[in-house]
Amino acid sequence: MNLKPLLLVGTLSAMGAIAFAEDAKPASPHTITGNFSLTSNYVFRGLTQSDKKPAIQGGYDYSHACGFYAGVWASSEQWVSDGGYGKNSLETDFYLGYKYSPVKDLTLDLGAIEYYYPGRYEADSTKPHTTEAYLGVSYKWASFKFSHSLTSDFFGSTDAKGVNYYDFTATPSLPYGLTLALHAGRQDFKKDYSSFASYNDYKVGISKEVVPSYTLALAYTYANTNGKSFYFYSAENKNIGGSQVALTFTKAF
């Protein structure tokens, strides 16, 4: 009997087992993801941020298996310059938080976000930079998020500390790989701003991953800002709320 082939097979099998053991390393607790988008209209809380014009957006997110996360996101915008606050065409968001799932499909989210607008401003001008803390809870495809302003200046409004935003969102799946997006929000100002600056906004949208990691989304939004504060009107006296439509193409990586 020729033992050489058997010995060779046994040796190769052992080598394969060793190689497999070496490859089966523990999964990393760190995750980094990114996204890049082109949108026909950047809408935030029912208000156009790009004067109903196209915007370029993108960001990176880091998360740890323990629940901690942090990220940065940026978008071109136009409302700061249009509103006379300063020379600016960029929004940069910095955020961090912690997510915890006490039971399956239920997630609690606690964090903070800084909306920062780099640019040139007059010494005595009101800067649009805003800091918020938020608390969110989600179950499967339904979520609620409460945001609370920590800064006195709130997106260009002075003495507006304590502004709240309530966000109800649902994203159920539909046939043919479609996802429906339903949203209702309430921007709630306090003190003297309440009667003319508080408003509601709504959104209905649909999205589909057209090819792996590429998503196309179409959304209609409405904010009841007609006839309210000058805060909702651009330098050309255009209402930045009301009805909006946005088509967005996103690449995730």
Lowest mean pLDDT among 4-18, 79-93, 222-236: 4-18
Q: How far apart are CA 43 and CA 57, in angstroms?
A: 12
Q: 13 by DSSP, 3-state: which?
A: helix
Q: How far apart are CA 232 and CA 83, in angstroms?
A: 9
- Interval 164-217: pLDDT, tens: 999 999 999 999 999 999 999 999 988 666 677 899 999 999 999 999 999 999
Distances (CA, A) of 111 to 55, 107, 168, 184, 195: 26, 13, 17, 21, 29
pLDDT of 9 higher than 70: no
Band of residue 229 on the pLDDT scale cut at 50, 70, 90? low
pLDDT of 127 higher than 80: yes
Nearest to 246, CA basis, from 34, 51, 90, 36: 51
Phi/psi-derived region of residue 177, left when phi > 0, alpha when psi is between -120 and 50, beta in every other case: left
Burial of 187 (0-12, 13-18, 19+ CB in 10 A): buried
Share of the chain above pLDDT 90, in %: 68
Decide: 141 and 171 in contact? Cβ < 8 Å.
yes
| pTM listed for this prediction | 0.88
Mean of pLDDT values over 2-20: 44
The structural domains of the chain, ordered by start, are: 29-252 (2.40.160.40)
pLDDT for the residue numbered 23: 58
List Cβ neighbours of 22 (8 Å cut-off, separation of 6 or more).
none
